[in-house]
Amino acid sequence: METIYDVLSAEHDQVADLLQQATCNGSRESLLKVKAKTDLHMAGEEKLFYPLLQQKDELCDLVKHAFKEHKESKTVISELERMDESDHNWTSKVEKRNEKKIDHQVQEEENKVFPAAQKVLSQDKAQEIAQQCL
């Protein structure tokens, strides 16, 4: 049965694909797709996943950091949203700032947050919250 880690990792892959597209075609439409997907993904994590981790003292700092990262990526995306896509900086900004930021965040989650969560959340719980995501 699918766990929350499977669901979130699959979403990370979807975001990476969309981001790749946005970097290639440099269109606002693609950026908006990235935004829609990341907003939904982060909202799910903030509502279903992080609160459970936050209850554990040892994970408190990690979760605080994750929330901070989310805030930063929302800022980056809204900055891009306000820019004109014909701006010559548009593509390089999408590429550098957005990709770097989101990529870094995904790495951190998959390599630090998930293993730490697996230590404190039972397999049952990890499956139960996966169901709530659907």
Binding residues vs Fe ion (CB under 5 A) = 45, 109
How many Cβ atoms sit within 10 Å of the Cβ of residue 92?
12
CB of 87 to Fe ion, least distance (A): 28
Q: In angstroms, what is the C-alpha Rg of the chain?
A: 16
Q: How many CA atoms lie within 13 A of 38 on its CB side?
A: 28
Q: Tell me the C-alpha distance between 43 and 66, whole Å.
A: 12
96 versus 104: smaller Cβ distance to Fe ion: 104
Of the candidates 46, 23, 27, 2, the one whose C-alpha atom is nearest the C-alpha of residue 92 is: 23
| Min CB(107)–Fe ion separation in Å | 10
To Fe ion, the closest distance from the beta carbon of 102 in angstroms equals 9
Q: Measuring CA to CA, which residue among 36, 23, 42, 27 is closest to residue 106?
A: 42
72, amino acid identity: E
- Least distance from Fe ion to the Cβ atom of residue 16, Å: 11
Please identify, using beta-carbon distances, which residue of 2 and 87 lies nearer to Fe ion: 2
